[in-house]
Structure 1
Amino acid sequence: MSANTTVSETTFRSREVERRVTGQAVSDGAGVKLLRVLTADLQRRLDPFLMLDEFRSDNPDDYLAGFPDHPHRGFETVTYMLAGRMRHRDNAGHEGLLTAGGVQWMTAGRGIVHSELPEQENGLMHGFQLWVNLPARDKLTTPAYQDLPEAAIPGYQAVSGATIKVIAGDSEGVTGAIQRDATAPLYLDIELPAGTTHLAAIPVGHNAFGYVYQGQVEVGERSDTVAARQLAVLSNAPEADGVRLRSAEGARLLLVAGRPLHEPIVQWGPFVMNRREEVEQALADYRAGRF
């Protein structure tokens, strides 16, 4: 079933929770405190996704130093802001300001050096960064950005009562802001009011996960509880239409799915290629100023 098909309660078969993951507190950039939820040990299982970080703090000392100039090659970064602002600059002269509710989808391609610098807004900073792999054929493509304000992110209220923002892919006939051929990502921000049961379609064959960032959610026919700040790896049963989501007291979560690339993954920090020699070349190119 495709992701934009309206699903039926009577015939729907849900994916189940295969594994729960609790994030690891880390610091990155110039000491920014993060919760790293999708880590390297999940890259094969959740191909094409490489990393998911949540940043959330009302203490500016936790984030104002930001992420000074740093390189990327071979993948895409997706920054989604719920609160606060983030200014982006790169070595090609591009600059943008990501505000609350907005998304930046950056294709690093053959190489880019950029900075991500928070700008305080009422003290609170909250958002996510997802890394999405590129296929071998696109790893050295020209770098590109899509900077999308909140108004450019399609959203709708489902018959279930859930409110859904469609960042990428398609959901119940609503086409998201971003489309990608190789990985066909689905990226939804779902709000479940108290007592809501929502049936979310996920394409067969896609690897998928849910990340609950507020409240708790009962997932699948087994009603496995996924608590706030936990990631649920979803099963890949070929007969499943998607995933059943229910929240007794109200919740918000990210639902993310993508077509696996089934290619080797060789990562060294901010470089993700298919072979070690390619990573070594990326490092040499960066040091020589060829980004």
Structure 2
Amino acid sequence: MTGFLNLSTVQRSRQVERLVNGIPTTDGAGVKLTRVLTHDLQRRLDPFLMLDAFRSDDPDDYIAGFPNHPHRGFETVTYMLNGRMRHRDSRGNEGLLSEGGVQWMTAGRGLIHSEIPEQQDGLMEGFQLWLNLPGKNKMIAPWYRDIPAGEIPVHTLADGVEVKLIAGHLGDAAGAVTREDTEPLYIDISVPAGVTAHLPLAADVNAFIYVYRGAVKIDDRGVKSTQMAILGNGDFDGVRITAQDEPARLLLIAGKPLNEPIAQYGPFVMNSRAELEQAFADYQAGTF
């Protein structure tokens, strides 16, 4: 805990433009998850490419994990609420992602990695976000960081609202990670029942929330657990979020759009078809 953070009251709150229910799917070696931010929303929520949520206490849903697979051209941010996941990659990085921690990986010009659960039973819960890289940075050197829960700033706001600042800036506070170009804001928010949280947002960012405990209202629009609310753009200074009959927890994610072409095929995200073809050629040649 890093103390109290004083934020201004939001005067002009963003509204809910659209509610999105995630799509159940499987990935990796059969891991069951919910794809919340899907391919058809990439342009609207630029610079974000994907958000997956996973939660199960059945080992059959997650135990096989995500064996070796390649990435190029973007960043992955994995936030673990419960459970343990071992990361290894072709750059020699290795780390254990555990409760409350974050794994931030920049694929850049390419790497191969695996994410394998390190538990035989119990609850496995968390999120993986894909954050695009600008064209000028898609071929930078890969980068990796494990961020234990104790290294992620946590602040208390008015009326007992608590925010875990994974990335970006909130008022005068900086998160565990900051990025130029996309300037992502990634916060995990706990709101007591009946309390309204006031969160500032710059006018030039795309933003959404994902509720994973309880239910909230954004002004007069209800958002239930496991729903994503895309927040409208315009002349607003932030968003007001009110927990309803019980405490709520949610992610608020925002970033500056890149406004660049998006060319994606599976684990490669570039700006053109030619760059995608080169990514496949490089991977097949073993140069990742």
Are 1:169 and 1:187, in contact at CA under 8 Å, matched by a contact in 2? yes
* Residue of structure 2 equivalent to 1:242: 238
Alignment partners' CA distance in 1, 2:6 and 2:50: 28
Distance in 1 between the 2:158 and 2:107 partners? 38
Question: When the two structures are superposed, what TM-score results if normalisation uses the length of structure 2?
Answer: 0.96
Cα pair 1:85 1:121 within 8 Å, conserved: no
For residue 5 of structure 1, report the CA deviation from its aligned partner.
8.1
Alignment correspondent of 1:116: 115
Contact 1:89 1:95 in 2 (8 A): yes
Q: CA deviation at 1:160?
A: 3.0
Q: Which residue is equivalent to 1:274?
A: 271
**Partner in structure 2 of residue 135 of structure 1:** 134
Is the contact made by 2:59 and 2:120 (CA closer than 8 Å) also made in structure 1?
A: no
Deviations 1:186-214 (A, max 9, x none): 00000111111011111111000000011
Mapping of 1:135-214 within 5 angstroms?
A: 135-214=134-213
Partner of 2:225: 228
Match of 1:283 in 2: 280
Question: 2:56 corresponds to which letter in structure 1?
Answer: S
Query: What SS class does the counterpart of residue 80 from structure 1 fall into?
Result: strand
Aligned partners of 1:94, 1:172: CA distance in 2, in Å? 33
Alignment match, 1:31 = 30
**In the alignment, what sits opposite 2:40?**
41
SS at match of 1:160: helix
Structure 1 residue 265: Cα displacement: 0.2
Q: 1:12-61: CA deviations, max 9, x gaps?
A: 11000000000000000000001000001000000000000001100011
Unaligned runs of 5+ in 1: none
Give the AA of the match of 2:9. Answer: S
Q: Quote how far apart the aligned CAs of 1:172 are.
A: 3.1
Distance (Å, rounded) in 2 between the aligned partners of 1:137 and 1:174: 28
Maintained 8 Å contact 2:33/2:52? yes
Counterparts of 1:105 and 1:121, CA distance in 2: 25
Partner of 1:100: 99
Alpha-carbon distance change, 5 to 47 in structure 1, aligned in 2, over 3 angstroms = farther
1:121–1:194 Cα change, 3 Å: farther
Distance in 2, matches of 1:129 and 1:8, equals 31
* Displacement of 1:93: 1.6
Counterparts of 2:6 and 2:249, CA distance in 1: 22
CA distance 1:28–1:122, change in 2 (3 Å): closer
Residue 171 of structure 1: CA displacement?
A: 1.5
- One of 237, 241, 258 as aligned partner of 1:261: 258
Q: Which runs of 5+ in 2 are unaligned?
A: none
Mapped to 2, the partners of 1:60 and 1:20 lie a distance apart of 30
Question: Aligned partners of 2:104, 2:130: CA distance in 1, in Å?
Answer: 10
- What CA RMSD, in Å, does the superposition of the two structures yield over aligned residues? 1.2
- The separation in 2 between residues aligned to 1:81 and 1:158, in whole angstroms, is 23
Contact 2:6 2:158 in 1 (8 A): no
C-alpha distance in structure 2 between counterparts of 1:262 and 1:254, whole Å: 24
Mapped contact 2:7–2:157 kept (Cα < 8 A):
no
* Aligned partner of residue 158 in structure 2, secondary structure: coil
Aligned-partner residue type, residue 117 of structure 1: I
Partners of 1:119 and 1:209 in 2: CA distance: 31
Distance 1:88 1:55, change over 3 A: same
Judging changes above 3 Å, is the alpha-carbon distance between structure 1 residues 72 and 15 closer, same or farther for their aligned structure 2 residues? Answer: same
Shift of 1:6: 2.2
Shift of 1:94: 1.3
Mark the CA change 1:121 to 1:102 in structure 2 (over 3 Å): closer, same or farther. Answer: farther
Partner residue in 2 for 1:8: 9
Which stretches of structure 1, 4 residues or more, deviate above 6 A after TM superposition? Answer: none
Contact 2:59 2:121 in 1 (8 A): no
Matched-pair contact (CA < 8 Å) for 2:269–2:276: yes
* Aligned-partner SS, 2:144: strand
Question: What is the TM-score with the length of structure 1 in the denominator?
Answer: 0.95
Secondary structure of 1:281's match? helix
